[in-house]
Structure 1
Amino acid sequence: MKIELGFGNGLQTLEVPDANVSEILVPNEIDTSLSAEEAVSRALENPIGSPRLRDMVKPGEKIAIVTSDITRPMPTYAVMPFLFKELEAAGVSDKDVTLVFALGSHRKHTDEEKIKLAGEETFKRIACIDGDVKDCIHLGTTVRGTPVDIVRTVAEADKRICLGNIEYHYFAGYSGGAKAIMPGVSTRDAIQSNHRMMIEKEACAGNLDTNPLRQDIEEAARICGVDFILNVVLDEHKKIIYAVAGDLVKSHREGCRFLDTLYGKRIKQKADIVVVSQGGAPKDLNLYQTQKALDNAKHAVKDGGIIILVGSCKEGLGEKVFEEWMTSAEKPEDLVLRIKREFKLGGHKAAAIALVLEYADIYLVSDMEEDFVKKLFFMPFKTVQTAFNAAFEKKGANASVLVMPYGGSTLPKL
């Protein structure tokens, strides 16, 4: 069997004996007959667990709309016209509405980036600002000890509306929902307090209700107060194919259920060898991004198995803290111990890799230098075929093989 996998701006081809292929995981076929406009309109007209937005807001109230920053694919520009219609129907003035970009721990935007995110009309009509984590209000503390320190513009608003896109998140379960508040408009200390729970077993992709980190996120959002959300699901071309609106938790859960019908893949059994690609450029530009595919693949590999991670990583590791952690550790266990001792953003991805290495070997097919790859605790290869041949020789002629061509957006589940 010949299988093509994205690698940088091109493809790599893998040949696997037919008898050894257990499954090839690709997104499910679903009905996406609704246009983006129809999907968003239907969600706003039929909110889940709450009244319509136009029936919740009043003239004179200060409205904060919290949305994603430039590192996320949320098409804010595409949904804002529909939100304006709801706010106009309630008599809300543009001068009382602020669009807040949720930076979390990321850098500030240029005006050009703000216009790209919000759309020109929105940028002209209302204030569009970056959340300033240096100007926050302390609203309380979660039961797990996370401080709820929220950007002032959001904390002091009369009504808070959160936007986001829903996809799998390797320790918060799914993106979207309350993540606009935590980490979106929270301080770095608050984020680190929350994210330190990522090493707990239940903090994993696809898990919500028993996920301590997600529970902490949603408790922080309840303390802050979120009146309404609008979340979307995007296809592989970053186009809206589904939308939910309404209650912070109820509508988010419905969006997550839809995502599962698209990208959740039931597997018969775990495999000896899992071959996973992030899908090529720009998703595999560096190891920081390519790690997302690895973290999904871990759910499909047997203990003692091999994951072949396929990603160009032509720009190297991609994040300074991540690079420092990965290159300074003497063994993978050091990274797990370090994250328990001092949670640090960037280091959290290094620890996530180390957790996979506890029960599986990782063969990395990349453009990085082989000696450097070895320092990262991976086996280096230049082609997926040579990596597979080595893995096949190690695991034997009866080894089961599972392939994930779109690893960053495909979640295997038993």
Structure 2
Amino acid sequence: MTGTFHARIPYESLDPLTIGVMDDESNVRREELELDIPERNLLAAIYPDEPPAVPNTTDEARRALANPVAGPSLAQLLEGGRSITVIIDNQFRPTPASKILPAVLDEIERAGTTKATVITGNGKVISMSQRDIEQKVGRDNLARMARLGIPLLQNDPLNYDVYTHLGVTSRGTPAWVHESVTSHDVVIAIGQAQANHWGYGGGGKLVMPGVCADITIEANHGNFVMSPQTHYGALAGPMRSDIDEIATMAGLTATLDVLLDTRGKVIEMNFGAHPVSHRRTIERFNEIYAFDSPVAESSPADIVICGVFAPTDHLFFHTGWGCMSADHVVRDGGTVIYTSPSPGVRTETGFFPGLALMDLMKPYMPPSEAGYHRLLKDIHAREIQMWAGCIWAPIYEVMVRKHLTLVTLEENLAMAADIGIDATTSLDVAFAAAMERHGPDAKVAILPFARYQLPRELVRLDAQPLRFPQEALR
């Protein structure tokens, strides 16, 4: 092959306060970087075939609530005015809660429920400001909740007075769950189902870490994040299994699981009993975004180029999950080029720069096997908090074995240099350096939506935790 492949790599961001509240018919302009790659070097360019978005998110929510994939409908669950807690995700997640809640509130009002609560599953993330709340929940929904006497609570993981101890999981995690969840008859969770480096998000994850106390979050994250069985597609791995066990202990009744495309639009929504609805939605997610790995027919790539899309990109802390997915298609000693503008997040209390929280890896830099061993020691000695470590520590582990180059905004370069992350503003420069590093015959793979995408062979929906040697995941 003597031609060139013209790659288009998504490189975009949105104010997280606008995510999930765009009109159903609006279009997000796709911002992209472009790169010409010699065809003889191209191993694979893997772009998903996404279905069309639903016409109306609120109508789709009404359909899902009335037609569960398993178990009773929401109307049936609320018969007799049973009490209910509704858990929604936080300001950094793109689930369009403001468009979904009208359908839920309709059912609560129709059932004559007098005891209802909505709580944001913040986990250990900073509390939502009034502006966050208005954007995430919606002013009309807030007014309606006030009329119905439905309070809006936020998770406060250090206030142990508001948590109920439910026991210890089979993996040894003490389960402290918010009393608003444990004291109601019906508990539903509304969130986005997607692949992540823990296995999958959504479903029971709205309970743990969403509405759990600090001790529960740290025990789960610290014990299981670095397990070789915790990886993309590991629904039955120890971390995700522990999460779902805590959700079951907490009485999670049903979940409303949302699939979003790479423009933040709803493409599917399922409601039903925990954990069946979540698993059904994940199966659908994998049909769209899991891919047949090119490594199966060839050796791993020398270079993998990853992009990010607007509904996920504001902090590299959230965007960079795809490093762990890319890990499975590029060889040890290879290069991961990760394009992420990471513009940062401005809140009412200050500004979080694009590489906020990634600076926690600085004491272990430059990446090395000795640094990784020291990191593991510090994790298990509880000398570092794994709420943040759950993301940067796995990225660090990849960096021990592979070279990471970050393509980002110029304002992030100084912080990247201080941390010790190789960064540039130019994809062309990053690619040229990688080709110089690996030679003219280097094989290149493209994962334009790495944070969503995962090799199909990692997808495991079996019921029991997996048992295999660590090198099987390399």
Give TM-score scaled by structure 2 length: 0.79
Question: Quick one: structure 1 residues 11 and 227, their matched pair in 2 at CA, closer, same or farther if it must change by over 3 Å?
Answer: closer
Match of residue 124, structure 1, among 139, 143, 155:
143
- Report SS of the residue matched to 1:257: helix
Quick one: structure 1 residues 73 and 275, their matched pair in 2 at CA, closer, same or farther if it must change by over 3 Å? same
Deviation at 1:38, TM superposition (A): 4.7
- 1:302 aligned counterpart, secondary structure: strand
Q: SS in structure 1 opposite 2:167?
A: strand
Structure 1 counterpart of 2:446, from 400, 403, 414? 403
Q: What is the one-letter code of the residue matched to 1:161?
A: I
**Residues 150 and 186, structure 1, Cα contact 8 Å, conserved in 2:** yes
Residues 205-227 of structure 1: CA deviation (Å, up to 9, x unaligned): 22202x10011001111111111
Aligned twin of 1:303: 332
- The answer to whether the Cα contact below 8 Å between 1:300 and 1:413 also exists between their aligned partners in 2 is no
Q: In 1, Cα distance between the equivalents of 2:341 and 2:137?
A: 31
Aligned-pair RMSD on alpha carbons? Answer: 2.4
Are the structure 2 counterparts of residues 178 and 4 from structure 1 closer, same or farther at C-alpha, using a change threshold of 3 Å? same
Matches within 5 A, 1:308-319: 308-313=337-342, 315=344, 316-319=353-356
Unpaired segments ≥5 residues, structure 2: 14-30, 146-150, 345-352, 458-474
| CA distance in structure 2 between the partners assigned to 1:68 and 1:31 by the alignment | 24
Alignment-mate amino acid for residue 21 of structure 1: L
Aligned to 1:287: 316
Map 1:99-110; keep pairs closer than 5 Å: 99-110=118-129
Tell me which residue corresponds to 1:56: 77
- Which of these residues, 13, 21, 29, is aligned with residue 34 of structure 2? 13
Q: Does residue 278 in structure 1 map to residue 299 in structure 2?
A: no
SS of the equivalent of 1:319 reads coil
Contact 1:62 1:159 in 2 (8 A): yes
Q: Partners in 2 of 1:78 and 1:372 — Cα distance?
A: 37
Distance (Å, rounded) in 1 between the aligned partners of 2:365 and 2:340: 24
Indicate how the Cα distance of structure 1 residues 314 and 158 shifts in structure 2: closer, same or farther if over 3 A, else same.
closer
Change beyond 3 A, Cα 1:149–1:364: same
For residue 140 of structure 2, give the secondary structure of its aligned residue in structure 1. helix
8 Å CA contact 1:34, 1:241 repeated in 2: no
Partner of 2:429: 386
**Counterpart of 2:256?**
230
Partner SS state of residue 233, structure 2: coil
1:55/1:308 Cα in 2 relative to 1: closer, same or farther (>3 Å)?
Answer: same
Question: Would you say 1:349 and 2:391 are equivalent positions?
Answer: yes
Q: Specify the alignment match of 2:266 in structure 1.
A: 240
CA contact (8 A) 1:61 1:159 kept: yes
* Helix, strand or coil at the partner of 1:59: coil
Compute the displacement of 1:50 (Å): 0.6
Q: CA deviation at 1:104?
A: 0.5
SS in 1 for 2:184: coil
Q: What is the CA–CA distance in structure 1 between the aligned matches of 2:449 and 2:106, rounded to whole Å? A: 37
**Aligned match of 1:327 in 362, 381, 386?**
362
State the distance in 1 between where 2:412 and 2:125 align.
29
Cα separation, 1, equivalents of 2:82 and 2:201: 28
**Alignment gaps of 5+ in structure 1:** none
Amino acid at match of 1:3: A
CA distance in 2, matches of 1:326, 1:369: 16
Equivalent in the alignment of 1:182? 208
- Which moves more between the two structures, 339-348 or 156-165? 339-348
For residue 36 of structure 1, report the CA deviation from its aligned partner.
2.8
Aligned to 1:145: 172
How many matched pairs? 407
Match of 1:236, SS state, is coil
Q: C-alpha distance in 1, partners of 2:98/2:423? A: 42
C-alpha change, 1:161 and 1:45, in structure 2 (3 Å) is: same
> What is the CA distance between 1:372 and its match in structure 2?
5.3
Distance 1:330 1:176 in 2: 32
- 2:115 is the alignment partner of 1:96: yes
Match of 1:340 in 2: 380
Distance 1:379 1:46 in 2: 50
| Partner-residue secondary structure (3-state), 1:346 | helix
Amino acid at match of 1:354: Y
Instruction: State which drifts further: 374-383 or 225-234.
Output: 374-383
Distance of aligned partners of 1:253 and 1:34 in 2 relative to their CA distance in 1, 3 Å threshold: farther
- What CA distance in whole angstroms lies between the structure 2 residues aligned with 1:32 and 1:381? 35
Distance 1:15 1:340 in 2: 45
**Residues 162-241 of structure 1 aligned to structure 2 (within 5 Å):** 162-171=189-198, 173-196=199-222, 197-209=224-236, 211-241=237-267
Aligned to 2:460: none
Instruction: Specify the code of the residue in structure 2 equivalent to 1:92.
Output: G
What SS does the aligned partner of 2:294 have?
coil
2:26 is matched with: none
Q: 1:123 to 1:404 in 2, by over 3 A?
A: same
- Tell me what 1:154 maps to: 181
Aligned residues of 1:271 and 1:302 also touching (Cα < 8 A): yes
Question: Structure 1 371/97 Cα, relative in aligned 2: closer, same or farther at 3 Å?
Answer: closer
- Rounded Cα–Cα distance in structure 2 between residues aligned with 1:377 and 1:237: 32
CA distance in 1, matches of 2:339, 2:81: 53
CA pair 59-121 structure 1, distance change in 2 beyond 3 A: farther
Q: Deviations over 1:58-85 (max 9, x none)?
A: 3343211111111111111111222233
Task: Measure how far apart 1:407 and its partner are.
Answer: 2.2
Q: Deviations over 1:26-62 (max 9, x none)?
A: 2223355664345323322221221112112233432
Residues 1:51 and 1:313: Cα distance change in structure 2 (over 3 Å): closer
